[in-house]
Amino acid sequence: MLNTLKEPQRDALQSGFQEQYVKAFKWMLLARTVEEKIASLWRAGKIAGGVYIGKGQEAVSVAIGTMLRHGDIFAPLIRDQAGRLAFGEPLLDILRTYLGAKTAPARGRDGNVHRGHPREGTYPMISHLGAMISVVAGGLLARRMKGITGTVGATSIGDGGTSTGAFHEGLNFAAVEKLPLILVVTNNQYAYSTPNSKQFACHDLVDKAVGYGIEGYSMDGTDLRQCLEVVGHAVDRARSGGGPQMVVATCLRLTGHAEHDDAAYMDEELFKQPLGRDCINATESFLLEQNWASETALTTWRQEAKGAVEAATQQVQREPACSPADEDWMPLATRRLADFDL
Amino acid sequence: MSITYLEAIREAQAKALRDDPRVYIYGQDVADFGGAFKATKNLAKEFPGRVLDSPISEDAMVGSVVGAAIEGMRPIVEMQFSDFSSNAFNQIINQAAAFYWRTNIPCPITIRMPSGGNPGSGPFHSQALESVYAHFPGLIVMTPATVEDAYDLLLEAIAIDDPVIFCEHKFLYNRVKVEKLLEPNGQSAGKARIARPGRDLTIVTYSATVHDALLAAQELARSGIQVEVVDLRTVKPLDIETVLGSIANTGRLLCVGESWPWGGVNAEVIARVASKGFHLLDSPPQRLNSRDVPIPYHPDLWRASRPSVAMIIERVRKILQW
């Protein structure tokens, strides 16, 4: 039997939970709003390269950023804007990166979703799926060696990423060392155009947890309450010595793989199923049902998100762009050992 | 009492562990067992908790040390054989090598690669991959030929703030010795050395083939041919100034290396000499690599597949006839 969560650890009636839920929703809203802005800038031809958004996965992602604490490690993946914001990434980072501002974290040397602040705990992803699992686990191993206790590390992956060798090696390594790693697998039904049926043959991705000897949980990725409860429980378990935790969320990617992808291959039936519901809408309904927010409040929050995104966009558009003239073309920290001769 | 190349590698790691609490060793069978070649013998006992066995997961091994480096450690990874580093290729070239460029944060990791052939080792336990790794920006590639350099360069590799591919040649492990180790100078990386002076022809080489070149030079000296042998020590960065200085005296160049011929270190040396020192050359620069085949198992085939003393002598004589 899997360690599927039976008892909610965070009672919806607790006042602390209401506050956390509302806060998480606001990050989801901000993530959705800024990503829609980025997508619209891309359509206007103002962005070089691909645009990858997390539409439909905000509830899962925000739960990670919300449940981690300052001082923890987070290696977000492609659809983690909500989690990034909740974990503390400045709103300016996404705009600076996509718009090619000199002030972007990677200074134009890397783009779109490949940004982070490693020293502050946000590790920047590479595109090779599964590769961040061992990096986060290694960071946790180092902390243990240094005698640092009480911190955890989380990273995200999709259904497609579970098929890689790096996924296996990273998770097995974390399990062997019993590291406080939380791996959130978001099964959004498609890896680019490839459906689950061509991605894995096990009944449910959470079954894999047993094979690694770690604790595994399933959750409805469209339900913010469940996401906060399950991810919160997994983070608590990891923090209190329970070893690696695997959380599998089910939802639907409500967009193409990237903005250039019209996703015509997606099965329309999926959109009619519970997993196909938009987590933002579901969260809004829950807020209204619980009387945690009124229609007026929701409208105000939407306007606030829009205002913040517009202000940040305008600020970044006034900032200088990355320029070859500012670049030192130096791939090494040890300058004396650069192969200048090239 | 003498110390071998292999013992020097162990001693360098012991010194690094002693001197710097940020250093640890991670790899397959490196802890109590002491490593497949015993390069970490007794270190787990001397430094409890700092020499750790990994699962057979080269990708995760390298990924993990990148994470540890972010958290301020200076890890050493032992690949059991350089050949298995292909399983870690992604983490080495995309994660570790690109990390500083992308983030402005150093990635001080050392990846030890037991490299090169031994009789009977076959296609998957013999590879010399320095040319492959030198291709990628963000990596430093060291190829020590001597006991002193194995010691000095490894200590320097661990101290350097960038990922270092440390190609230690298995053939040399127990075949080269010194009486005692000197204090490391910390300044060997990026500097070639003249392993033997000569006036007639320059052999540029590194790692195990330095010794083949020296034997060839000794033999050629009997017939009055004075070969200068340049040991690159690190193939990246490449000390082309020392190479050009040597060719200025000799006018002739033969590059010798154990990696495969297409592209690679020998090709790079020749390309740079041709573009910067064409006027110094009295004859076309030549190279001698392993044959362009997977490395053969049978000892006789293996010997015939890589540069040998006899092949070097033959090539030198041919170049001098130009």
What rounded mean pLDDT belongs to chain A?
95
Please check whether residue B188 lies inside any domain of the structure.
no
Within 117-136 of A, beta carbons closer than 8 Å to B belong to 118-119, 123-124, 126-128, 131-136
- Any idea which residues of B carry the catalytic annotation? 125
Check whether residue B17 and residue B139 sit in a common domain. Answer: yes
Check whether residue B231 and residue B164 sit in a common domain. Answer: no
What SS3 state is found at A113? coil
Mean pLDDT, to the nearest integer, of A269-291? 97
- ipTM value for the complex: 0.97
| Per-residue pLDDT tens digits for A30-41 | 999 999 999 999
Tell me the shortest Cα–Cα distance from B68 to chain A, in angstroms: 4
pLDDT tier for residue A15 given thresholds of 50, 70 and 90: confident
Within 85-104 of A, beta carbons closer than 8 Å to B belong to none
Residue among B115, B117, B121, B60 at smallest CA distance from B92: B60
Check whether residue B114 and residue B165 sit in a common domain. Answer: yes
Residue A6: what pLDDT? 44
Check whether residue B152 and residue B13 sit in a common domain. Answer: yes
Contact B184, B151 (CB under 8 A): yes
Please check whether residue B44 lies inside any domain of the structure.
yes
Q: Range of B253's domain?
A: 193-320
Provide, as residue numbers in chain B, all residues whose Cβ is less than 8 Å from the Cβ of A116.
Answer: 103
Tell me the shortest Cα–Cα distance from A280 to chain B, in angstroms: 33
- Name which of A141, A173, A337 is nearest B237 (Cβ-Cβ): A337
Which residue, of B178, B203, B225, is where some domain finishes? B178
Cross-sheet strand order for the sheet of A215-220? A73-75, A153-158, A181-187, A245-250, A215-220
CATH of the domain at B80: 3.40.50.970
CA distances A113 to A94, A104, A126, A309, B279, Å, are: 8, 12, 9, 17, 50
With CB atoms and an 8 Å threshold, state whether B73 touches A145. Answer: yes
Check whether residue B164 and residue B19 sit in a common domain. Answer: yes
- Judge whether B91 is closer than 8 Å to chain A, CB to CB: yes
Please check whether residue B184 lies inside any domain of the structure.
no
Residue A47: what pLDDT? 95
pLDDT beyond 70 at A7: no
Check whether residue B155 and residue B85 sit in a common domain. Answer: yes
With CB atoms and an 8 Å threshold, state whether A140 touches B49. Answer: no
Neighbours of B20 (CB within 10 A): 13
Check whether residue B65 and residue B156 sit in a common domain. Answer: yes
Contact B80, B28 (CB under 8 A): yes
Contact A159, A187 (CB under 8 A): yes
Please check whether residue B183 lies inside any domain of the structure.
no
Which residue, of B178, B211, B240, is where some domain finishes? B178
CA distances B304 to A81, A250, A298, B74, B311, Å, are: 58, 59, 78, 40, 9
Tell me the shortest Cα–Cα distance from B77 to chain A, in angstroms: 12
The total number of structural domains that make up chain B: 2
Check whether residue B111 and residue B164 sit in a common domain. Answer: yes
Mean pLDDT, to the nearest integer, of A181-186? 98
Check whether residue B169 and residue B198 sit in a common domain. Answer: no
Q: At what angle do helices B240-250 and B264-277 cross, to 10 degrees?
A: 60
Please check whether residue B66 lies inside any domain of the structure.
yes
The answer for residues whose C-beta is within 8 angstroms of residue B181's C-beta and 6 or more apart is: B3, B8, B11, B147, B148, B151
pLDDT tier for residue A8 given thresholds of 50, 70 and 90: very low
Alpha-carbon gap, residue B113 to B135, rounded angstroms = 16
Provide, as residue numbers in chain B, all residues whose Cβ is less than 8 Å from the Cβ of A126.
Answer: 90, 94-95, 98
Check whether residue B208 and residue B116 sit in a common domain. Answer: no
Residue among A263, A271, A249, A269 at smallest CA distance from A194: A263
Q: In order along chain B (322 residues), what is the average pLDDT of each group of 10 residues?
A: 96 98 98 98 98 98 98 98 98 98 98 94 96 98 98 98 98 97 91 98 98 98 98 98 98 98 97 97 98 97 97 98 92
Please check whether residue B200 lies inside any domain of the structure.
yes
C-alpha dihedral sign at A217, A222, A223, A224? positive
From A72, which residue of chain B is nearest by alpha-carbon distance?
B71
| CATH no. for A15-337 | 3.40.50.970
Check whether residue B23 and residue B129 sit in a common domain. Answer: yes
Which residue, of B178, B201, B221, is where some domain finishes? B178
Contact A45, A244 (CB under 8 A): no
pLDDT beyond 60 at A109: yes
Mean pLDDT, to the nearest integer, of A150-177? 98
Residue A239: what pLDDT? 98
Top residue of A168, A322, A337 to mutate, by most chain B CBs within 10 Å, is A337
For chain A, which residues make up each domain, given as ranges?
A: 15-337
Within 46-75 of B, beta carbons closer than 8 Å to A belong to 49-50, 54-55, 57-68, 70-73, 75
Provide, as residue numbers in chain A, all residues whose Cβ is less than 8 Å from the Cβ of B71.
Answer: 139, 142-143, 146
- Name which of B60, B94, B236 is nearest A173 (Cβ-Cβ): B60
Check whether residue B137 and residue B249 sit in a common domain. Answer: no
Mean pLDDT, to the nearest integer, of A241-268? 97
Alpha-carbon gap, residue A249 to A216, rounded angstroms = 11
CATH of the domain at B225: 3.40.50.920
Residue A13: what pLDDT? 54
